[in-house]
Amino acid sequence: MDTFRVTGNLSDHPDSHEKFGLPRFTLVLATLWLILNIWAERHTQRLALARLSDPMLRDIGLSRAAAGEETRKPFWRA
């Protein structure tokens, strides 16, 4: 059985639904799923960054202020 893996925005090209052999609605749902997963990953990473101690932040080259600035971003903003 063939599998389909979403690795980018599938609706960039007007003929993308024909290229992949999938209905346009399926591509829209796959793109939405991809976006939601990216947002969830950003949220998780920012929570982890907020929990790091000052010595850990220094180890990765960040100040507490820079880490705070990153963690205050909404999940939809890269």
pLDDT in tens, 24-70: 888 899 999 999 999 999 999 999 999 999 999 999 999 999 999 99
Q: What is the rounded CA–CA span in Å between residue 12 and residue 39?
A: 19
Q: What is the rounded CA–CA span in Å between residue 7 and residue 38?
A: 11
Domain ranges of the chain: 16-71
Report CA-CA distances (Å) from 61 to 19, 31, 39, 49, 71: 44, 34, 24, 12, 16
Q: Looking at residue 12, what is its pLDDT?
A: 56
pTM assigned to the model: 0.66
The DSSP secondary-structure symbol of 23 reads -
Q: What is the rounded CA–CA span in Å between residue 25 and residue 23?
A: 5
